[in-house]
């Protein structure tokens, strides 16, 4: 086929090719409900229905999508991805429907810095323009050992209770509920005080809108939009690291709000003291209130989250019935990474299973999701590959993992490698032991259980396992 210029025709062709590569499940869940639009500057935007779908596409499909697009587009344009809530100005109907209650005077057609909640009937639609997700409330948050303290603090903040810490800083591994908590706080705080100005935005939105405001000489409006807030919530604040002017503006905003007794809630993937890219004065302000960890989930919590997500999808009519316990256990085993990865697996299962959910066996799930769970033909991961990947990640030699050396710098990576072998291969404990220098199967069992335990306690171990899992899956 020759090159084209019409975005709709290019998208139809590119999407068909992508579907063949990633499988029906992910395609139906994330790609099919999306559409390509052109913004006011002529940029091509893939608009997804939700922020979750946007993140999935950005992580799993955008690079390949652009390869396909560039091969078809005679104008050699690139494709970006945003969720529907972010692009009211791109879609004329959305632009008319969503009131911009707190926008910055930029031209043409600016996106809002952060839309605030209105007490009017249009309030819910205005909230969606801010990037908040309706399903991320306290009612849908699943409590477990690793997040109970964070949940209690979040509810306290949302209640507008006096005499508590400010700012509150939630920190923890990617994908374990920080964004959910910030969303839930915003919804509940506004419900309890409809007249209050509650502002939620990601650090990425803070950064991009501040830069646009400087370019358009509208920084005064930007500052007023944030400093007049009664509660300000900023997600993923680690992304302001290394950007001096943005850090200065954030510092001034926090100082102003704290002096006025306003509430501030922040999140990041690390505690404030570990945000080394952020300058010391701002880091000091971030750490001045309460630092509240959101820890990695254990197996019991993950099963509960999977079950809760399926029940939510059942209410929407996506699936019928409840999954068998062993099916949920299998999904958890297949997704040892973050909760978001688990939720993606549940969404894929729901899209494939439909009304058959209650009757599916583990074997059925393995067959149905063999390709969809990994976005293509299932690739066999070998013990040798795991050993090499772990060695490189920890700057060791593969021979170190097989040696008799028991120093902590080698023993812990060895146990992680054993854990990954049990997760990603079909080899037994004795077989894995033989591949690790002839160790006894009880040594392997101890190593696997130790890592399972540390995943709920040690933030760095959780990050290492998640990073290694992503590398192994390619």
Region at 242 (left for phi over 0; alpha for psi -120 to 50; beta for the rest): left
Across the beta sheet with 44-48, what order do the strands follow? 35-38, 44-48, 79-83
Q: How far is CA 311 from the centre of its chain?
A: 21
Mean pLDDT of 464-468: 86
pLDDT digits (tens, 9 = 90+) for 9-35: 888 888 888 887 777 667 776 788 888
Q: Is the pLDDT of residue 125 over 50?
A: no
Residue 420, pLDDT score: 92
Residue 105, pLDDT score: 26
pLDDT digits (tens, 9 = 90+) for 368-418: 776 555 444 445 788 999 999 999 999 888 888 998 888 888 999 999 999
Most confident of 79-83, 179-183, 199-203, 422-426: 179-183
Residue-averaged pLDDT of the chain:
78
Mean pLDDT of 119-135: 49
**Cα-trace Rg, the chain:** 24
Mean pLDDT of 244-254: 84
Spatial contact of 296 and 456, defined as CB atoms under 8 Å apart: yes
Residue 78, pLDDT score: 82
Residue 111, pLDDT score: 36
Mean pLDDT of 191-201: 89
pLDDT digits (tens, 9 = 90+) for 325-367: 888 888 887 776 667 777 777 887 887 777 778 888 888 877 7
Q: Is the pLDDT of residue 141 over 50?
A: yes
Residue 107, pLDDT score: 28
pLDDT digits (tens, 9 = 90+) for 215-241: 777 777 778 888 888 999 988 888 887
Q: Is the pLDDT of residue 124 over 60?
A: no
Most confident of 54-63, 203-212, 260-269: 260-269
Q: What is the dihedral of CA 187, 190, 194, 196, to 10 degrees?
A: -150
Residue 470, pLDDT score: 80
Cα separation, 80 vs 77, in Å, equals: 10
Question: What number of residues does the chain have?
Answer: 474
Decide which of 382 and 111 is more confident.
Answer: 382
Residue 106, pLDDT score: 29
Number of H helices, E strands in the chain: 22, 8
With a pLDDT cut of 90, the percent of the chain lying above it is: 10
Name all contacts of 330-333 with Cβ < 8 Å and 24+ positions apart: 330/362, 330/365, 330/366, 331/306, 331/365, 332/299, 332/302, 332/303, 332/306, 333/423
**Bridge partners, 37 (sequence order):** 45
Task: Return the ∠ at Cα 404 (arms to 398 and 406), rounded to 5°.
Answer: 95
Q: What global pTM score does this model have?
A: 0.52
In sequence order, the 6+-apart residues with CB closer than 8 A to the CB of 90 are: 37, 38, 39, 40, 45, 47, 82
């Amino acid at each position: 086929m020759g090159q084209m210029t019409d975005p709709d025709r290019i998208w139809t062709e590119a999407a068909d090719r992508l579907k063949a590569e990633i499988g029906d499940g992910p395609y139906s869940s994330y790609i099919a409900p999306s559409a390509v639009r052109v913004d006011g500057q002529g940029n091509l935007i893939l608009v997804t229905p939700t922020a979750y779908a946007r993140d999935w596409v950005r992580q799993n499909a955008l690079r390949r999508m652009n390869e396909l697009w560039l091969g078809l587009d005679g104008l050699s344009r690139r494709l970006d991805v945003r969720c529907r809530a972010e692009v009211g100005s791109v879609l004329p109907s959305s632009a008319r429907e969503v009131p911009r209650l707190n926008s910055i005077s930029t031209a043409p057609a600016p996106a809002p810095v952060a839309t605030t909640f209105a007490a009017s009937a249009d309030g819910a639609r205005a909230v969606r323009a801010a990037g908040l997700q309706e399903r991320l409330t306290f009612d849908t948050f699943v409590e477990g050992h690793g997040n109970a303290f964070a949940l209690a603090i979040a509810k306290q903040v949302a209640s507008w209770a006096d005499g508590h810490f400010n700012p509150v800083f939630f920190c923890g591994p990617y994908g374990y509920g920080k964004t959910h908590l910030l969303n839930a706080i915003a919804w509940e705080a506004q419900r309890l005080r409809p007249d209050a100005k509650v502002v939620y935005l990601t650090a990425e939105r803070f950064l991009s809108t501040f830069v646009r405001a400087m370019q358009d000489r509208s920084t005064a409006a930007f500052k007023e939009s944030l400093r007049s807030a009664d509660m300000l919530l900023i997600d993923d604040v680690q992304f302001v690291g290394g950007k001096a002017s943005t850090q200065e503006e954030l510092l001034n905003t926090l100082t102003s709000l704290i002096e006025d007794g306003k509430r501030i809630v922040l999140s990041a993937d690390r505690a404030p003291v570990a945000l080394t890219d952020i300058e010391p004065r701002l880091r000091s302000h971030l750490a001045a209130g309460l630092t509240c960890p959101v820890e990695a989930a254990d197996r019991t919590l993950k099963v509960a989250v999977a079950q809760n997500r399926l029940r939510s999808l059942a209410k929407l009519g996506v699936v019928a019935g409840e999954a068998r316990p062993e099916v949920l256990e299998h999904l958890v085993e297949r997704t040892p990474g973050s909760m978001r990865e688990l939720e993606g697996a549940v969404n894929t299962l729901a899209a494939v299973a439909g009304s058959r959910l209650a009757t599916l066996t583990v074997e059925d799930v393995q067959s149905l999701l063999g390709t969809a769970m990994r976005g293509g033909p299932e690739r066999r991961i070998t013990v040798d590959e795991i050993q090499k990947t772990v060695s490189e990640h920890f700057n060791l030699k593969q021979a170190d993992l097989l040696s008799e050396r028991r120093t902590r710098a080698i023993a812990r990576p060895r146990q992680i490698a054993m854990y990954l072998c049990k997760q990603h291969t079909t080899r037994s404990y004795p077989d894995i032991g033989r591949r690790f220098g002839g160790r006894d199967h009880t040594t392997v069992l101890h190593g696997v259980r130790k890592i399972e335990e540390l995943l709920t306690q040690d933030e760095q171990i959780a990050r290492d396992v998640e990073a290694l899992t992503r590398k192994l899956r390619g």
